[in-house]
Chain A
């Protein structure tokens, strides 16, 4: 049970890193104008089941991830991500189905992204941006129910200060956009539990469907999106001992759509597992849906 939602939480965190005109499940290197804000709201629903044990565990996580980005300078942007989550775990115990749940604000992630390389040409841009962040334990990590203290992965917060780092590459033209990201999340211990570190490789292709031919002005773009996410999660540690039923490797694909206007974006996607190799009896992921909305504003707005 400790590990069943780990991948889901990782996906929730990854989704929170996304930004405007960007992949659905990870970051982009596109700029935030100096002094400008970008707000993104993403609804996430994940289902993890396919339990190999008699307990028949079924885990559902729904949440709203709020992301606010701010352009400190033309090359440096700060992002803050805060999820609100509702986690529910159902399982069979002594012939009866029991459900344990928790809800509330999760952990706040603060991320700094610096554009280290940039090449602009007519109608296209290539950017490479490393990023570094911390996750603060702002969420509740000692929630209880009638059965006692909820297990760490069911808590809204982890209770630990964690770090994440990575680099994202974006190549955008008027017709398509490619993003790729390498990331690593270093999880620390809290409450005798330490989630395994998570390494990820993500890539995304966005292709403009509409308008088919660009005319004058700035028309809204409709993009078809296809993303792939590879996640390697190390084993969790309970009181310093590795949990054999935790961690593993997964590959997901996420088809989706994005409608991008001057000032706002609506988007939707469904993340589905292609390959899953969980360790031991760790739960598999069924799917995650990722509808969302983004808008931008500017502190210098007249």
Chain B
């Protein structure tokens, strides 16, 4: 500790330098008050700021210079889930009417002559959306297009019954897609816990359930209650770490997918990986419902960012990895332009982790990646607590994933913030 006289001498020496100094012998001995008075009156004598341009650049969160690993990720408009739902609700009566009409047509057809089922190895003709063509109804076409993402699920469910193709396939074909899709939508909604189906759709789904044998349970070490659809032959080749997706064992049609030509719609679907929902005690469920109430649907704001790749590994609280823990960027290298293909929505709400961040109740990023084999990989870091996890899972079940994904690019990032009102 310098005496006041020594400090006075040091101050005089500092002033005589007439330039900025970082000399610790000069600066450390002086009282803070003296230094601050000096900086206020002679700021040019202060040492340079200990802030670099890169520090500032890394702190940017918006604007053209914001860090997205050097690339700028254009932010797409916010998806207003309520509007999407309202739009869907407008279509629902039409869908119900059309489903009933299709069921009637089927009933007449199956009563008269049974349709020929294609051989299992035969490539499925791309013109199976018969009623759409017959009716030539623009609205119907639109509805089919809207339901595109779930078509693959329909076909996968159908695929579970290769030994008895006539009944379920006839049902699906006879419905011309729409009734089957609604039934499949029911399956999806059941799996993700969503509600809001019409009575007709429920009847169609229940009728379908009775006719289609239940899919074989997933036979791995994970006792998942989630219904997973895995081709029997593919089950033995479930993905292993560092291995590419297994070769396809079955052909699936993705009807209604307007992104592809119909001939190209036959997709290879690898086993879908899903994790089990955690068992939550009833009291805890109630408590969570109460907690979730403040951010019901109208408080959920879903933002999508197009083509966020490496940024998600550095900025997002969740790091996307494959099940084998291969980082995302290597996936991107391996599959630079994966096509959008069949989507199993049921895996989405069960593979999410979450970390609280900033002022938001929760902030999370979900990275969705579709590989050419049409397998979704959504495996996240296990850093969240079980309470956080179950909370966010339940919140995610309220998201209209179908609407979100129906027009999404093949690879994108969804950032979801649950903000209090």
- Asked if A pairs with B, the answer is no
Footprint of B on A, CB under 8 Å?
none
Footprint of A on B, CB under 8 Å?
none
